[in-house]
Amino acid sequence: MKAVVYKGPRDISVSKVPDAKIERPTDVLVKITSTNICGSDLHMYEGRTDVESGKILGHENLGVVIETGNAVDRIKVGDHVCMPFNISCGFCENCERGLTGFCLTTNPGNAGAAYGYAGMGPYSGGQAEYLRVPYADFNCLVLPPDAEEKENDYVMLSDIFPTGYHATELAGVRMGDSVVIYGAGPVGLMAAYSATIKGAGMVMIVDTHKDRLALAEKIGAIPIDNSDGSCVDQILDLTGGQGADRGCECVGYQCCDHKGHEVPNLTMNNLVRTVRATGGIGIVGVFMPEDPGAKDKLAKHGQIAFDFGQFFTKGQHMGTGQANVKAYNRKLCSLIAAGKASPSFIISHELPLAEAPEAYENFDARNEGWTKVVLKPEA
């Protein structure tokens, strides 16, 4: 089969690799019809992880089941399914509590597994023609009858829609709240969308990219253009000097100042400054335990100079981590099916798998107009 293979920093190829196959009786095999490129893929693409050469990338996957293992009960050949990026068992202590992003079974010695990702277990990704799905009865979300018609909406259930929602849950967003979101990439836009769905009063979203801010404005968020580095002042002005009730971090360890220089503690400290005393902060942007590629001495070891004194004095709280996609994907799916949510509004490009190298290059450069790419292996 053809698949997107990581070769080295900024070097991926679409190569012929052995076909994905059923390896355990609890697996199914899915023919992939939509698979997105994610900001998380870019950390690997840029050589800022320890992902090994030869890894098949892709954790935002949707397709049709073409084969089922002997021990699979629920999932049938022909089902249209969307897979959470997390691979989870369903029976460990964390899965039992709904914390499927921290499964203790699927990546032994660690908490949490994923398709095609650095440090998340030996699983191949779905930027390919076929994907092996472990513990398929637990992991597959079977899509409604309009699966094909709304495929570009449903594929967002694999990661970024639930992840954006998770950011708002970690922050504690409730009806009427004011919310500030750092990062208007796909995840930040989905956090803004989720906050709006939850009935937030005012949603502000910070970035320097005008095309991304324009999408945020389309869904009713207030764009905070940080091109001049004034985002903190703008947010304090809009919130009577108090800061927002809730804040979300949707950028991660590679966050930059307005001139484009990496400053790993910038979004975290800006959140402390722009969330009100006793407010909540949700962090879904990825921070790595080790980052040898960082310029900053602390960041090399996954550390940041965090304004903890301010954070404590303001009595703020925060939640962090990978999204437990299964905690939200079924309900968010219902919103799409009912016509109440259409997360595909962020898609800028639908491309065949063969064009993945150009797509990675453009999305990585955050080139104007490249807000989200869906690869279509059948095209």
Ligand X SMILES: NC(=O)c1ccc[n+]([C@@H]2O[C@H](COP(=O)([O-])OP(=O)(O)OC[C@H]3O[C@@H](n4cnc5c(N)ncnc54)[C@H](O)[C@@H]3O)[C@@H](O)[C@H]2O)c1
DSSP states of 99-145: -GGG-SSSSTTSS--BTT-TTS-S---SSBSEEEESSHHHH-EE--T
Question: Nearest approach, Cβ of 263 to ligand X (angstroms)?
Answer: 7
For Zn ion, which is the closer residue by CB, 60 or 207? 60
Closest CA to 51 of 61, 36, 60, 41: 41
Q: Which does 143 bind (CB under 5 to 8 A by kind): ligand X, Zn ion, none?
A: none
Pairing of strands 60-68, 28-37: antiparallel
Give the Cβ contact number of residue 29 at 10 Å. Answer: 21
Q: Can you give the length of the chain in residues?
A: 379
Q: Which does 95 bind (CB under 5 to 8 A by kind): ligand X, Zn ion, none?
A: Zn ion
Of 157-176, binders to ligand X (CB under 6 A) are 159-160, 163
Can residue 182 be called a binding residue for ligand X (CB under 6 A)? yes
CA dihedral 293, 298, 302, 303 (to 10 degrees): -160
Report how many helices (DSSP H) and strands (DSSP E) the chain contains, helices first. 12, 15
Question: Nearest approach, Cβ of 176 to Zn ion (angstroms)?
Answer: 30
Taking CB under 6 A as the criterion, the residue among 99, 275, 323, 374 binding ligand X is 323
The one segment of 14-22, 92-100, 190-198, 300-308 that binds Zn ion by CB under 5 A: 92-100
For ligand X, which is the closer residue by CB, 40 or 178? 40
Give 92-98 contacts, CB < 8 A, sequence gap 24+: 95/138, 98/324, 98/326, 98/327
Which residue has its beta carbon closest to Zn ion? 38
Q: How far is CA 85 from CA 57, 141, 166, 245, in A?
A: 12, 12, 14, 30
Q: Which does 37 bind (CB under 5 to 8 A by kind): Zn ion, ligand X, none?
A: none
**Which tokens go with 225?**
């253009």
d(C-alpha 102, C-alpha 183), whole Å: 24
Q: How far is CA 217 from CA 32, 119, 167, 184, in A?
A: 32, 36, 19, 11
Can residue 112 be called a binding residue for ligand X (CB under 6 A)? no
Can residue 88 be called a binding residue for Zn ion (CB under 5 A)? yes
List the end-to-end C-alpha distance of the chain, in Å, as a whole number: 14
Of 51-80, binders to Zn ion (CB under 5 A) are 60
Q: Which residues have C-beta within 8 Å of that of residue 354, sequence separation ≥ 6?
A: 2, 14
Number of residues located near ligand X, criterion CB under 6 A: 34
Of 117-136, binders to ligand X (CB under 6 A) are none
Of 273-292, binders to Zn ion (CB under 5 A) are none
Of 137-166, binders to Zn ion (CB under 5 A) are 159
Amino acid in position 320 = T
Can residue 267 be called a binding residue for ligand X (CB under 6 A)? yes
For ligand X, which is the closer residue by CB, 30 or 191? 191
Taking CB under 6 A as the criterion, the residue among 252, 279, 343, 377 binding ligand X is 252
Can residue 111 be called a binding residue for Zn ion (CB under 5 A)? no
Binding site for Zn ion (CB under 5 A): 38, 40, 60, 88-89, 92, 95, 103, 105, 159
Binding site for ligand X (CB under 6 A): 38-40, 42-43, 159-160, 163, 182-188, 206-209, 212, 226, 250-252, 255-256, 266-267, 284-286, 322-323, 366
